A and B are shown apart, each in its own frame.
Chain A
Amino acid sequence: MPLPDFEMLTPRTLPRAVRLLSQGDGIAALAGGTDLLVAMKQGLKAPERLADLSGLAALRQICHLPDSGLRIGSMVTLRSLSAHGALRDHYLALWQAALAVGSPQLRAMGTLGGNLCQDACCLYYNRPPMQRLMLATCFKLGGDLCHVVPTSRTCRATYSGDTAAALLALGAHVEVAASGGAAVRPLADLFTGDGRRPIALGAGEVVTAVILPAPVAGMGSAYFKFRLRQTIDYPLLGVAAAVRIRDGRCESVRVGLTAVERAPVLLDVSELAGGRVLDEEMTDEIGRCARALAHPVANVSEVTPAYRRDMVPVLVKRALNAAVAAAAGGLS
């Protein structure tokens, strides 16, 4: 499958990249290429020009912030990210999520920013071009129906990024550059909830970094991914949990879900669990809350939506227990 032809632009400065990307629809930002180039090979996207972000050295840095938080450049590869010492020590869920993406080769090429900004996927939208031609055009391709949920009046393509679930649970922000300058937003604001166009970036906007809050004592996190093969595949369900425990009692409990909706889902149950022990009764309750927020659709062929939904409380409990263990073990 040859790639459609395009013009390659190689901005050397961020303002130049922003200026190029402000020029409208025919141009797309290129990070690692493991998502965009596949979509182009499948005939799903055909930008006339690509702006290669790999020449922007500042986007490949990981640095500690004055408040002890961590700033991860958006062009840091998932492989470099998982090799960074701070991750395993302080942001275990992100370390596990980064290592759960794709395969070693995909992690060597794919970037954190690209992983966050990946397109939503779907059994019909992502099928081979010839098979797609045999079906009526769906919402995501500009049509007016959904093959997965025929009663739906909107596109139900699923957002399946692993790192998003972990970063939501960890309370991450993203730094977005635009022609007016850079702005820091809560990560949840990066997602539209629209399967057709899941990433809330306008023309000229580029994710430049992910910002993690400073680690604090008693913090622990974990990420669990459900898929049939333990490699390469997208998640059928991904669950991250991040807790802060003091004297055995919860101060904050946050759960991130992926592959169950058109955007990753954050469930902050700090109020419910605050001051309480994270015992089985509590993890069951949080599992029920998370299950109610998960609406997987029949967008994969391997397992039913009902099974994936039933797996939500199972993985939520595992993730919470692992996060508590990490908090207790000093691995936080």
Chain B
Amino acid sequence: MKQIITLNVNGEVREIVVRPAATLLEVLRADLGLTGVKEGCDTGACGACTVLMDGEAVLSCLALAVRCQGKSITTIEGLASGGQLHPVQQAAIDKDAVQCGFCAPGWILSATALLAGNPDPAREEVKEAIAGNLCRCGAYRRIEDAVLLAGDRLAGRKPPASGSPE
């Protein structure tokens, strides 16, 4: 039986009619057109479909939409504000942390959740935070650099004056 759920998606309240078997991933992509949420493995093992639910990184492919009633969802489309990219997005560009880009929405959201609670993470903490986001291009080192740079900028610190670590 279909039911109506209310979600706050990227700051906007949306009412959607969903089937019990609809995943949050399907609803975000098909019903709301938010195709920045990626369908990768669709079985919880790659992290491409990561979104923030009440600030926490979760897998939208394994979240049933009917169980998300009243939740606040942030997708990659909702990170930028006032025409400004989110610091993690900007750092991804500045550190050239994206190759094919398919994993980027996922890890950027995982990193955003990390930095919201811990603006000064160690590299190990960054690795742990993005451990659920597979990057088939293997851009991990640059992704870590980008997250660390975003942390520096968010905390108003001057990043260490060093070039690429390679």
Q: Does A138 contact B (CB under 8 A)?
A: no
Are A52 and B42 touching (Cβ within 8 A)? no
Smallest CB separation, B127 vs chain A (Å):
9
> Is the C-beta of B4 less than 8 angstroms from some C-beta in chain A?
no
Q: Closest CB-CB distance, A4 to chain B, in whole Å?
A: 7
Which B-chain residue is minimally distant from A38 (CB atoms)? B43
**Cβ-closest chain A residue relative to B53:** A108
Contact partners of B129 in chain A: CB under 8 A: 104
Interface residues of B in 120-156 (CB under 8 A from A): 128-129, 131-134
Residue of B nearest to A50 (CB): B20
Q: How far is the CA of A132 from the CA of B68 in the complex (A)?
A: 33
Q: Contacts A2-B21, A105-B58, A232-B131 known; A41 to B63 CB distance under 8 Å? A: no
Q: Report if B44 contacts A (CB, 8 A).
A: yes
Flag if A7 contacts B57 (CB, 8 Å). no
A33 touches B132 (CB 8 A): no
Given contacts A8-B64, A108-B58, A109-B59, contact A1 B42 (CB under 8 A): yes
Instruction: Decide if B132 touches A3 in the complex (CB within 8 Å).
Output: no
Residue of A nearest to B132 (CB): A103
Are the C-beta atoms of A232 and B132 separated by less than 8 Å? yes
Within 254-292 of A, Cβ neighbours of B (below 8 Å) are at: none
Interface hub of A4, A6, A38, A105 (most chain B Cβ within 10 A):
A105
Candidates B20, B23, B59, B110; contact of A6 at CB < 8 Å: B20
A163 at the interface (CB under 8 A from B): no
Contact B1 A105 (CB under 8 A): no
How many angstroms between the C-alpha atoms of A102 and B62 in the bound complex? 13
Judge whether A109 and B58 touch: CB under 8 Å: yes
B50 proximity list for chain A (CB < 8 A): 105
List, in ascending order, chain A residues with CB within 8 A of B88's CB.
Answer: none
Q: Determine the chain A residues whose CB is within 8 A of the CB of B1 once the complex forms.
A: 7
Q: Which of A1, A3, A4, A105 meets B47, CB within 8 Å?
A: A105
| B131 and A38 within 8 A (CB) | no
Interface residues of A (CB under 8 A from B): 1-8, 33-34, 37-38, 41-42, 50, 52, 54, 79, 102-106, 108-109, 230-232
Q: Give 8 pairs: A residue, B residue, CB < 8 Å, sorted on A.
A: A5-B19, A6-B20, A7-B1, A34-B44, A105-B57, A105-B59, A108-B57, A232-B45
15 new A-B contacts at CB < 8 Å, known A38-B44, A105-B59, A108-B56:
A4-B21, A7-B20, A33-B63, A33-B64, A34-B44, A38-B43, A52-B67, A79-B56, A104-B57, A104-B128, A105-B44, A105-B58, A106-B44, A109-B59, A230-B131
